[in-house]
Amino acid sequence: MAGMTSSTAVVVGAGTMGRGIAQVLVESGWRVHMVDPMGDAAAQGQEAVQAAWARAVARGRLDAAHAAALEASLDAAPDYERVEGPPAWVIEAASEDLELKRRLLAELESRWPAGTRLASNTSSLTIASLQGGLRHPERLGGLHFFNPVPRMALVEVIASPATGAAWTAAAFDLARGLGKTPVPAPDRPGFLVNRVMRPFYAEALRLVEEEVAPPEVVDAVMEGAGFPMGPFRLMDLVGIDVNLAVTAAVYAQTFGEDRYRPHPRQQMMRDLGWLGRKRGRGFYDYRPSTDLPTEAPPAPPPEAPRSGGLVAGSPAFQQAWRRLSLPGRLSDEPPEPGLLRFWVDPDPGAEPPRPAGPATLLVVDGTRQHVEPLAARWGRPVVGFDPALVLAGAKVMTVSGYQGPEVAQIFAPLRVVPVEDAIGHVFSRIVCSLVDEALRFRPRIDPAVVDRAVELGVNHPRGPHAWLGRLGAERVAAVLAALRLVGGERYRPSEDLLRAAEREPHASLAERGGI
């Protein structure tokens, strides 16, 4: 298939993604026609792109003359009448609806000759499912951009078995020419990043539904662990309807795999029209007329405990504890009689540590066990915490069980966030599920490629394989095993995760919680 030498591209769809794709094409030297037959959508899309350039001029990031030249290279219309000659590329960015996309792509195939390459920006529908109605499926592949397109570096390049090799090579060249980082993604429901990312949203929604923590607490914990946006802020940015459509598409295409089940809360919000930032209301309220509560001023850091404490755990955990400048001495130091006020034990145990006297506050892993039964059994206050937040170097700490003032002293300077006494707390439940999803991914992909794609596609501070190395496979598997007891088979640790745990020193099945 010979490619067009034209520098003209057509973007079909003037929504958030279509206008973003059109913007980066124009900024890279393309003449772009943005087409959308829905009312004045095309004109609104063009105005939005022009407004972005105007803001860049006002901030001194773009020359006014250059902005005018860019505007001259972007045409928007409800039809194709002003497209002169066959374009080199036609990129479909319509709604995530299989039948709509199939009809549209069949029309685009018949409109232009074989040299015009077709691409879909679908975020979840397989390319093979879109090629079924085409006479020449080799002309079509996937170019999955990420929102917001001008800022996000990643483009997933998806080729089905029917996609031509020439298309794939040209797609990589196009993405690089736009200043993006192309990553090959298999033609699977959700491709690579959206497939791996499903637990980031699904577990957050379940945490709220199960009343473990409200959305603002979930977001605060994840952002305190280094994520630029918590799952609820991110869903509001992407669009709750878009996120729901992707989840529903992956769920349907995997024949009802429970890990991808859509959540009723998202459906309810879509029905109400609470779609996130674009509608002024989602999980948060963005309407300017609404009196939003102001953030409370930061509380002064609590004083360090006036008497000593011991910190148990692996060398990696103790080193991480020290890096965070948390109080207490390492457990290999002998306690001073009468001065042991707290004992931090990141590993679950049946009995309290021997050096702990009756006045010692016990701080135990609350992600693999409930602490309220321990408090009743031991007849003393017990604090549950998330050791993974220490290993992650986070700025927050979730705690369950006892909530006395000395808890904040033990974890100073971290911000202490109370949550319900629930397995996994917040961070461990979400991140451990995310890690396991990446390990389940088939076909197997170089872990460095997976991590780079996730970091670029959604700005995560680490990819799932890097989180696995930081937290340890034994801990990830143990948290999921504990979650499985209360949440069912969707938390069953994958075989690859169990193998990784078995390779770690001193990680027996019994130590992983009886998997």
Contact 400, 418 (CB under 8 A): yes
- Name the catalytic one among 120, 147, 160, 194: 194
| Catalytic residue (choose from 109, 121, 124, 144) | 144
CATH code for the domain of 97: 3.40.50.720
- Active site residue: 109, 138, 156, 203, which one? 156
Domain count, the chain: 1
pLDDT above 90 coverage of the chain, percent: 83
Question: What is the bridge-based pairing of β-strands 31-35 and 8-12?
Answer: parallel
Closest among 135, 144, 141 to 111, alpha carbons compared: 135
Decide if 259 is inside a domain.
no
Q: Which residue has the tokens 């079509």?
A: 140
Give the pLDDT score at 62: 96
Q: Is 459 part of the annotated catalytic residue set?
A: no
490: in domain? no
Assess if residue 309 is contained within a domain. Answer: no
DSSP state of 258: G
Residue in 123, 124, 147, 331 annotated catalytic: 123
What is the structure's pLDDT at 331?
74
Within a domain: residue 41?
yes
Judge whether 156 counts as a catalytic residue. yes
Provide the pLDDT for residue 80. 96
Averaged pLDDT score across all residues of the chain: 91
pLDDT for res 514 = 34
194 included as an active-site residue: yes
DSSP state, residue 276: B
Q: Taking the model in full, what pTM does it have? A: 0.90
> What domain range is 77 assigned to?
8-187
- Active site (annotated) includes residue 263: no
Residue 320 within a domain: no
**How much of the chain exceeds pLDDT 70, in percent?**
91
Quote the longest CA-to-CA distance of the chain: 87
Does the residue 230 lie in any domain?
A: no
pLDDT < 70 positions in the chain: 1-6, 289-307, 332-339, 355, 506-515
Q: How far is CA 90 from CA 12, 93, 489, in A?
A: 7, 10, 43
Check residue 69 and give its pLDDT. 97
118 within some domain = yes
pLDDT digits (tens, 9 = 90+) for 385-408: 999 999 999 999 999 999 999 999
pLDDT for the residue numbered 509:
37
